[in-house]
A and B are shown apart, each in its own frame.
Chain A
Amino acid sequence: MRSVVPVLTVVGAIFVLWYLAAIWLNAAWAYDKATRAGVTLSASELVADTWAQDKPKLPAPHQVGAEIWKTTGAMVAKGRAFSKRSLIYHSWVTLSATLLGFALGTGLGVLLAVGIVYNTVMDRSVMPWVITSQTIPILALAPMIIVVLNAVGISGLLPKAMISMYLSFFPVVVGMVKGLRSPEVMQLDQMRTWNASPSQTFWRLRLPASMPYLFASLKVAMAASLVGAIVGELPTGAVAGLGARLLAGSYYGQTIQIWSALITAAALAAALVALIGVIQRVTLRRMGMA
């Protein structure tokens, strides 16, 4: 609780800097307009103009806020929450790919981790490649994967989800391997004195012990998964999704649209990570760990 004031101060400072930067970056265009209209701008007029341009270099926060409201709340009020102009629709497209990819990635990650923990051959030969796989900037190749899968008739949700999966399986593998190995020798010996079978050791000791590690990785994986989904939307010809909004905005110089998509993506990431945090707290409390 004692960090609320500092955090609010920093956030406030960011907003102040944002407004100042908006004046600085947009001033050139404002002066340009004024010269052509043959008027001189007073300081307050200049500020007012830089905060209210149609296609500013950097839109002011309230412009972005208004755009987000126009494309979400106002659309809902008109009963067109899922029209193609609505950010809710685009967010949903991105969200569904994110969640599918996240589920696939978590599944793959947990399976790989179990294999790595129980099989020395896999541990020694696969683990280095799991790490290497993340030094390859696969995200940059996402568009190619999308286009190629499209060419063979796989389109829609799955290609984007594949990219999310690739990005999200890694934190899960690393976290789960650590978590499944976290029981101490003492606890493993205890299981042995109870004559527990390997599967009993797994279900009753290793898996529960890995939960805190799993949740920490899930948060990272969720954020990575969203990034994957957004980048995966770039090459689909800007049809739908937050990534498509970014690309369309950059084609037509609609900076306010870019920023509103960006802020929505940020809010989505924050909400998803917070959701996992809540699940984590409830689960760990019921398991008696928190």
Chain B
Amino acid sequence: MGWLVFAAAAWAGGWALNIWLARQPASALVRLAMPVVFGVTLIAVWEGVVRGLDVSAVLLPAPSAIGQAFVGNLAILWEDFVQTVIKGALTGYVIGCGAAVLTAIAIDRSDFLKRGLLPVGNFVAALPIIGMAPILVMWFGFDWQSKAAVVVVMVFFPVLVNTVEGLQASDQMQRDLMRTYAASSAATLAKLRMPMAMPFIFNGLKIATTLALIGAIVAEFFGSPIRGMGFRISTSVGQLALDLVWAEIVVAALAGSAAYGGVALIERAVTFWHPSQRARS
């Protein structure tokens, strides 16, 4: 009963604090503090409800238990992280995004190919590509190469479509200006069209970060060596070691958020001139 009261109190307190914060002048600190307060409140409520209602650890472990499992299994988690994120997802992400940008530049010169590939690319980007995972695991074996291949296939089309769209972002006037400078088409590409395409490319890259992690983890459900986050999740569920599963979830969430944040930071540095970036500062 005490824990339930704690949960209710935490909720009321957190919400009241946020209402108070919302009335303050909106400085950067307040903007940062509000979601943090909300998150901490949620975790406190979670802890309180799980303990108060005596929820079985099989169903939903308390945050404190997950924290213990996280600290206690650092070696395993790190091994899985290297296998899945560094070897599988990152390799595939770099290859897939690189190939997509290069393909976009290659087909950019042909209006015919662009008009043909864009609808097809848009269509493929909406398909459940994750279904390719069993096939690619069959082709490339159980180790990280097949995971990287799944990631390549998953990230390729969103990045391709965005890049092709981005390369069309420069308007006729600007291209004419480049022509009056007698710029070669390579120079136009490097100095005008690629920079103009960057906001679009980064949009694709951001979507691709989450897709890459999903692809790498899901592909492991179809066969993997005895390490990796997907492998650990599916076997630990079988052993009902839910705290370890949740620790893997924490790792996945941290990796996903860090990757997204990293790409967003690079975007800010590269496309500092774009209105959406200037408005914030």
Contacts and interface: CB of A to CB of B under 8 A. Distances in A.
Given A137-B256, A140-B252, A231-B130, A6 B113 contact: yes
Given A125-B18, A135-B259, A135-B260, A143 B131 contact: no
Interface string B229-249: 110011001001010010001
Contact of B131 (A140, A152, A230): A230
Contact of A124 (B22, B120, B210): B22
A14 B117 CA distance: 11
Determine chain A's interface SS by DSSP, over half rule.
helix
B138 A57 contact: yes
Given A11-B120, A266-B127, A6 B233 contact: no
Nearest to A8: B116
Interface residues of B, number: 59
Interface stretch (B35-43, B91-99, B186-194, B267-275): B35-43
B242 A148 contact: yes
B181 interface: no
A143 B245 CA distance: 11
Contacts of A226: 128
Given A141-B233, A143-B233, A235-B234, A129 B130 contact: no
Contact of B127 (A25, A132, A269): A269
B130 A227 contact: yes
A91 to B, nearest CB: 12
A168 B257 CA distance: 19
15 contacts: A6-B117, A9-B112, A9-B116, A57-B139, A121-B22, A124-B21, A125-B37, A141-B245, A144-B245, A223-B126, A242-B131, A265-B131, A266-B127, A269-B126, A270-B126
Interface of A: 2-3, 5-11, 14, 25, 57, 120-121, 124-129, 132, 134-137, 139-141, 143-144, 147-148, 151-152, 219-220, 223, 226-227, 230-231, 234-235, 242-243, 246-247, 249-250, 253, 255, 258-259, 261-262, 265-266, 269-270, 273
